Structure 1
Amino acid sequence: MTRPTHPLIIPSALSTVLDSVTLIDTRWQMGEATRRPAYYAGHLPGAAWVEFEGVMADAPGAGGRHPMPSRDVFAAAMRAAGVCNDRPVVVYDDGNSLAASRCWWLLKYFGKEDVQVLDGGLAAWHRAGLPVTTELPDVAPGDFHPTDPGAALLDADGAAEFAADRLLLDARPADRFAGQNETVDPVAGHIPGAVSAPALANLTDAGTFLPPDDLALRFTGLGIRTDSAVGVYCGSGVQATHLALALEASGIRPATSVYIGSWSHWITDPERPVE
């Protein structure tokens, strides 16, 4: 398989290159300890299971609900899943690409560029009539080793600077941005100066991403151009990576920095302002 030029891949295209990519199943649901039983019940042929909690996020605490994982822990999990430096990776989840986008972003952050997300996830694969299996793959350990960051990470001060001087997008649903219906974090509201840009609004009803032109229209409407510098955050750094994926899939591909700690980290300091 040649080096991918787009961050998303559709089921029909993936089905023709299964033997030349490393597949990662990273299904996750907030509030559930694990989705591993769903993997055992059926997954894409050859896909390796990677847990979200503990691999793609460190333990909840001062860093937020889903802080950055340990570099060594993440890299070891990727090698155990067969990730190699010279072999493309495709990540998928149940369908809305939230967990898959987190894995996609982390791989890019740790220097892996040839990684894509299965657009629409397992649900789209099923709709295409493609096969799943309960057979567990015999995964040969990979040789992936993290290199210099290939994606930009923001801390709280950096997020505040983006909100004041550039553009900081809040990827949570609009009601949570407005401080309404906050059932996840103990403080409602948003970072002052941030702009609401709900990540899941970039999906169709079927859970696939909107066409690139439609995504581009949404983002240019926010004043985003190819030479823009954009910061993104959400509740705990999951929808933020989904928004980062949409920005790249749009074709605009601005310089995008993710505040992984996001709102759940921002509110750990009562001195930080809330709007």
Structure 2
Amino acid sequence: MTSPLIEAEELLERVRSGRAPVIVDARWQLGAHDGHERYLGGHIPGALFVDLETDLADPPSPQRGRHPLPSRERFQALLRRLGVDAGDDVVVYDQAHGVSAARMWWMLRNAGIPTARVLDGGLRAWGEAGGRLEGGEGTLPDDGTIEIDWDRMPQLTIDDAAAFPEHGVLLDARAPERYRGEQEPVDPRAGHIPGALSSPTAGNLDENARFLGSDRLVTRFDAIGATDDAEIGVYCGSGVTAAHVVLALELAGRRGALFPGSWSQWSNDPERPVATGAV
């Protein structure tokens, strides 16, 4: 199976040689500047921008969460707008940490595109490899013709997530203080799904914001209990950063099922119990 990551040096060589994949800029809002503003200010040549809020998610609702997955039809229309044809390689990047890029990577894999990859280290790695940037709006290609599958990646419903700790390992990808219920800046209740274990997304990366090597990820997940013989589920705040953990699990040779509604769906249901503290 194709690695879920591509190094900046390989992408740069492909761009310079005229063999560029479809390149997608998935930068999310950072501080006062949204992703599109940053894209216009400078992006990898040929990259096209996608907006996480409007392209990679349906409108939010208490019943489905803050970033519900779009329909097969909506996502296929997006890929065709990006010029994707059957058999195309697709590379997604963001500012550095791979969080929003991993969301689209997961959706591409869910759509039956096994060659989708995330640029490890994002734009920072691209610049360190000697890659240049271009500004302004990218030119849309002719519409692609891709026909996607859907639901190719394992997923959990809210009821699946509730029962999951009884037979598997349910990982919470949010920051530890949100998991423990010490703070909740976004969702209506603080805490975590009972039985879930803390596995913050930041722990998947090294000091250069690149994914840890497979050996280190194996050690990390083994220590949590997400071993190679365990059933593993993953959730986060709204289904975005959990995809980052699913990618890290794949690097470790493991498969994780994503709970798309995540805490934003769970915490909006007053019938669902909430746990707090370190376990």
Q: How does 1:11-50 map to 2 (within 5 A)?
A: 11-18=8-15, 19-29=19-29, 34-50=34-50
Q: Distance in 2 between matches of 1:211 and 1:199?
A: 15
Aligned residue identity for 1:198: P
Per the alignment, residue 208 of structure 1 pairs with 210
The percent identity for this pair of structures is 43
Q: How does 1:73-152 map to 2 (within 5 A)?
A: 73-134=74-135, 136-152=138-154
Does residue 160 in structure 1 map to residue 162 in structure 2?
yes
The alignment yields a C-alpha RMSD, in angstroms, of 1.7
Could you list the per-position Cα deviations for residues 86-121 of structure 1 after superposition, in whole angstroms to 9, with x for gaps in the alignment? 111100011111110000001111211110000011
Q: How does 1:178-217 map to 2 (within 5 A)?
A: 178-217=180-219
Superposed displacement of residue 138, structure 1: 4.7
Q: Distance in 2 between matches of 1:21 and 1:225?
A: 34
Asked if the contact 2:81/2:140 (under 8 Å) is kept, the reply is no
Per the alignment, residue 266 of structure 1 pairs with 266
Could you list the per-position Cα deviations for residues 73-92 of structure 1 after superposition, in whole angstroms to 9, with x for gaps in the alignment? 12111111122221111000
Per the alignment, residue 240 of structure 2 pairs with 238
Superposed displacement of residue 223, structure 1: 2.8
Give ranges in structure 1 of 5+ residues lacking alignment. none
Asked if the contact 1:112/1:150 (under 8 Å) is kept, the reply is no
Report the number of matched residues: 270
Q: Distance in 1 between matches of 2:131 and 2:30?
A: 27
Aligned residue identity for 1:73: R
TM-score by length of 2: 0.91
Superposed displacement of residue 6, structure 1: 0.8
Superposed displacement of residue 140, structure 1: 2.6
Aligned residue identity for 2:129: A
Could you list the per-position Cα deviations for residues 46-94 of structure 1 after superposition, in whole angstroms to 9, with x for gaps in the alignment? 1111111121111111211111112211211111112222111100011
Aligned residue identity for 2:11: L
1:10 alignment partner, one of 7, 32, 36: 7
Superposed displacement of residue 35, structure 1: 1.6
Q: Distance in 1 between matches of 2:230 and 2:12?
A: 35
TM-score by length of 1: 0.93
Superposed displacement of residue 253, structure 1: 2.1
